[in-house]
Structure 1
Amino acid sequence: MFTTKQLARFSELDAQLYQFILANSEKVTLMRIRELAESTHVSPTTIVRFCRKLDCDGFSEFKTKLKIYLSKKETNFIHNSYETMNEFLERTLKTDYQSQIQDIANLIAKSEHLIFLGTGSSGILAEYGARYFSSLEKFSLAINDPFFPVHGKYMKNSIVIVLSVSGETPHIISQLHRLREEGAVIVSITNTKTCTVAQLSDYPLPYYINTEFIEKANITTQLPVLYLIETLGKATYESLHNL
């Protein structure tokens, strides 16, 4: 229904519509355009532009395609991880990912503290990231408790890597605000560049893949996140030895 190329072109308002439609797909198929506009706090014109970015003439055609998609969801909802990762890797070769990663790695190598932040499955990856960087001679810590106390004197000259698929988890956003106020430099790894976490970051690293749910469980692949963590870790190791 939503391709990776389409996701990469989404504006902030498009991303807002996208998240609402994912969470309320059945309901959206029964809504009028003005009802959707009121529910998402955007204009009907914005919705029409959003539909055209998805190769639909208007909202009516979009709803028809959405109904067809939902009817096939049981058999086609889970995407092939190999294909998803292949698309991601092809995209990284066509962007400035590598130069951006090198810039971040240089900052991490010179920082006093490195902290990974995430909850749920992202919290598990935060722990993996901290262990991976520590193995590469850059001692790191992971925080998977959004209420973990943060003291300012430890945040000076620190880098925080925030992991979040949606980039809209309230507790993570609240913690992120506190960390920024304390002087930490924020690196985010999120699915889009228009989410709140990415917008609050100094160095956003979006990976753009289809978000997947079974019932209400988010099963979006984390392979791109692992790739970015490991690539960034190895680049940091090289930077440490070039200081």
Structure 2
Amino acid sequence: MFSNDIIASFNELETSLYNYISQNMEKVSYMRIRELADETHVSTATILRFCRKLNCEGFSEFKVKLKMDMEKNKRTIIKSSQHSIVEFFERTLKGDLEEKIKEAAIQINNAENVIFIGIGSSGILAEYGARYFSSLGKLSLYIKDPHFPIHSKLRNNSVTIALSVSGENNFTVNHLNLLKQEGSKIISITNNKLSTIAKISDINIPYYVTEEYIEEANITTQVPVVYILESLAREIYKLNQ
């Protein structure tokens, strides 16, 4: 409702009004225009100008939109961790997950260089994956900067492991395109196999759990990703025994 452009257009009085409303949304949604004017020490004319900047014809329409915005942003009921894990095992382990892991492990084992990429929570797990692989004897690097200079020796016979819940993160897609053009094989771990990242990968390992959000934050469980990463590393270790 309050975009950056709209907030930037507010004058001093409108900014003061915005600050009050953003901190008292529930209360404001039931106030009369005169009550809000008294609380914020501005005129009703200022409030009406404020409403027009938000594409509302009057204060009544503004309150309707405010209530709709509050409803949309209500706190999500978070599922239990047990529910998410059971969902993963029921949906994924009945399929071809183990075969996918073995196939990917063979390709990774044959590669001279392994590169992990990801952003946000996926980036944290990518860094964990690189460390876990290295601990089990397969030296791996985590690179979060798509412009990080990679020596030609590292690009030769390399595998890139990309982590992304949605499989649509523009940062990761662009990073993958650069690495793919350099000749790196792509293995992705995503929440489904129909995403952009999954489609441009040589091997995709999907894990299928219900995505969860609180406001703009993606809080989808990452337990399946840890399971897949550790299973891959252990499978590679076994191949070398």
TM-score bracket, shorter-length normalisation = 0.5 to 0.7
The alignment's TM-score, normalised by the length of structure 1, stands at 0.66
Count of residue correspondences = 172
Q: CA deviation at 1:219?
A: 1.0
Distance 1:94 1:231 in 2: 16
Q: Which residue of 1 aligns with 2:99?
A: 99
| Pair 112,91 (structure 1): closer, same or farther in 2 beyond 3 Å | same
TM-score (norm 2): 0.67
1:179 aligns with 2:173: no
CA deviations on 1:169-195 (whole Å, 9 max, x unpaired) are 112111111111111110001111111
Q: 1:153: how far off?
A: 4.1
Counterparts of 2:147 and 2:85, CA distance in 1: 33
Look up the match of 2:111: 111
Match of 2:44 in 1: none
Contact kept in structure 2, 1:116 and 1:127, CA below 8 Å: yes
Q: Which residue of structure 1 aligns with residue 169 of structure 2?
A: 169
Does the 8 A contact of 1:113 with 1:159 survive in 2? yes
* Corresponding position of 2:83: 83
| C-alpha distance in structure 2 between counterparts of 1:111 and 1:182, whole Å | 14
* Structure number with larger C-alpha Rg: 2
With over 3 angstroms needed to count, the CA separation of the structure-2 counterparts of 1:147 and 1:214, relative to structure 1, is farther
Distance in 2 of aligned mates of 1:161 and 1:149: 18
- The answer to whether the Cα contact below 8 Å between 1:193 and 1:204 also exists between their aligned partners in 2 is yes
| CA deviation vs aligned residue, 1:57-94 (integer Å, no higher than 9, x gap) | xxxxxxxxxx9xx78963x6311121111121123332
Q: What percent of counterpart residues are identical?
A: 50
Q: Which amino acid letter does the alignment assign opposite residue 201 of structure 2?
A: S
Displacement of 1:152: 4.3
Aligned runs of 1:23-172 on 2, under 5 Å?
Answer: 74=75, 77-172=77-172
Q: AA paired with 1:225?
A: V
In structure 1, runs of 5+ residues without a counterpart are: 1-66
Distance 1:218 1:91 in 2: 20
Contact 1:126–1:144 under 8 Å retained in 2? no
Instruction: Give the superposed CA RMSD.
Output: 2.0
Distance 1:72 1:96, change over 3 A: same
Give the letter aligned to residue 81 of structure 1: S
Cα contact 2:73–2:215 (8 A) shared by 1: no
Separation in 1, partners of 2:81, 2:203: 26
2: CA distance, partners of 1:190 / 1:217: 17
